Amino acid sequence: MMIAIPELLDAKQVGVVRQIIDGADWIDGNATSGHQSALAKRNEQLPEGSVAAREAGGIVLDALGRSPLFFAAALPLKVFPPLFNRYGEGQTFGTHVDNAIRIQRGTDFRLRSDLSVTLFLEDPAAYDGGELVVEDRFGVQQVKLPAGHAVVYPSSSLHHVTPVTRGVRVASFFWLQSMVRDDGARSILFDLDQNVQRLTGQLGGEDRSVIELTGVYHNLLRRWADA
């Protein structure tokens, strides 16, 4: 399941994040790559755990905590501290799959990467290329969203970033472990949640059907969740 999260950050928040990260020291993007990714990755990123990454990452994490759509889609249990990368002209990230386990350097924090998140931080008109291309069971999908918008997609999918041919692509990226490991189960829960929300708006929260469907949602979550 791939879900776009519109306006995770508003324009003012995007500006604050960019002010923090643009003046920081960037390093080779392979600092966090596994063996397979290192063969295909050509970009730059902020050092993991740097002051700028922590400060900007805190803004992203706060925004995630305020997003009902993100929670409904991801059902997050653990979120890896957000990282930040940029692609200049000619830079790209070839087809790869994300590592199954992500470990935060210098700590005992680790998670199973169920879902990957890309948060776009540059106006798409300011650069050419740089599309996130995700291959899933329904085919190939290209994603290039406005600054402040994010996309959530399965970490198990093959994906790549097309070469940037003009300008600079800037984004935050990170992974999360969901309370519900199975992507199909998460999709069912998401669809059920969205329909419960719609019916609540139409019928009210005290309607018997709304109450019973809410019970079905939570009973399925009890059956499938690890928390």
Question: Which residues make up each annotated binding site for 2-oxoglutarate?
Answer: 169
Indicate the annotated binding residues for Fe cation: 96, 98, 159
Indicate the annotated binding residues: 96, 98, 159, 169
Tell me the residue ranges of DSSP E strands in 104-221.
110-112, 115-120, 128-129, 132-136, 139-143, 150-154, 158-161, 164-166, 169-178
Burial of 58 (0-12, 13-18, 19+ CB in 10 A): middle
Burial of 33 (0-12, 13-18, 19+ CB in 10 A): middle
